[in-house]
Amino acid sequence: MKKIIWLTILSSIFLLLSACGNDTEEKTEDKIWASIQESGEIVVGTAGTLFPASYYPEGSEELTGYDVEVAREIGKRLGVDVKFETMAFDAMLSALQSGRVDMIQAGPREASRDKFGFSEPIKYSFATMIVRADDLSGIHTLEDLKGKKAGGAATTVYSDIARKFDAEVVTYGNVTNDAYLRDVHNGRTDVVINDYYLQKLAITAFPEFNITLHPDLRFHPTTNNVVVSKEAKVLLKKIDEVIADMKEDGTLTKISGEFFGGLDVSKEPEEEVIEIEGID
């Protein structure tokens, strides 16, 4: 009889502790969303230098771009203002982790999945290369990257791809597209590996440069997602609901068309894309 009583007591304690743990977790999650509601503002980290994702049009001090306008629409539907902080891509995850910003937009990677919360994709794409137009920078396969110089940020998946195929990565700070493209043109670097849609539009802005989008190489399918703190589960759930609504009512398609020449980046591409083993 005493044994049964003690088992009942222990079970009750366990259930109480479990309930307390769940309650604490829920309060932490609610605290993040409650803080955003209280301030009436969500802070978004963005580059501000990457056409057409996040940039300042010439002669304008108004930030715009696909990522920017999607973030503004998310804020609008959440009922809060959006404040943007511009920073280098390499600084965004640390800014999110420290609480300096509430959300960014990036693709999920194995190392970051356990540390951050990722929404449903707001953009689908794949990687390709910008090379010199007259000789494709001597690159006809991914293996031809060996010994080439690839311009890029230090911690991106695109730089990881370059290193995997033994290219030397030449890193930059938070510079505009013309710095990358001019260096390929003048031979300081040989290639820029990046998102297909971004590069497709970027090269049209510099017709004087001897550069082109590689005609044959499409690799590493990617997504771009809204990223929040791992603890911000309430916020992430609300963002996912908003993204689903934006896809259903055609808002994402409309914003995409405005910045990607009528193309719809909110849907998965139909092109055959090479998977690269060991690159997440």
pLDDT over 60 (residue 15): no
pLDDT over 60 (residue 13): no
271, part of any domain:
no
So what's the pLDDT on residue 208?
A: 95
Give the residue numbers spanning the domain of 199: 126-220
Higher pLDDT, 155 or 189: 189
pLDDT over 60 (residue 202): yes
3-state secondary structure of 43: strand
> Among 109-123, 137-151, 240-254, whose mean pLDDT is lowest?
109-123
Q: 132 and 118: one domain?
A: no
Q: 108 and 120: one domain?
A: yes
Nearest to 239 by CA among 83, 51, 44: 44
Neighbours of 7 (CB within 10 A): 10
Q: 59 and 184: one domain?
A: no
268, part of any domain:
no
So what's the pLDDT on residue 29?
A: 56
pLDDT over 90 (residue 5): no
Could you tell me the CATH number of the domain that includes residue 160?
Answer: 3.40.190.10
Mean pLDDT, rounded, for 190-200 = 93
* Cα gap 156→56, rounded to integer Å: 22
pLDDT confidence of 3, banded at 50, 70, 90?
Answer: very low
Q: 97 and 147: one domain?
A: no
pLDDT over 80 (residue 10): no
Q: 120 and 130: one domain?
A: no
Q: 36 and 155: one domain?
A: no
239, part of any domain:
yes
Q: 0.85 cut: is pTM over it?
A: no
Between vectors from CA 68 to CA 48 and to CA 56, what angle results, nearest 5°? Answer: 40
Using a pLDDT cut of 70, give the percent of the chain over it: 90
Mean pLDDT, rounded, for 230-247 = 97
* Cα gap 255→83, rounded to integer Å: 19
266, part of any domain:
no
Distance, CA of 21 to chain centre: 32
Nearest to 192 by CA among 174, 177, 206, 210: 177
164, part of any domain:
yes
Number of domains in the chain: 2
**Looking at 204, 220, 236, which one is the last position of a domain?**
220
* Cα gap 56→60, rounded to integer Å: 6
Q: 233 and 117: one domain?
A: yes
Using a pLDDT cut of 90, give the percent of the chain over it: 72
Q: 100 and 230: one domain?
A: yes
Q: Which residues 6+ apart lie within 8 Å of 199 measured at CB?
A: 128, 129, 130, 192, 213
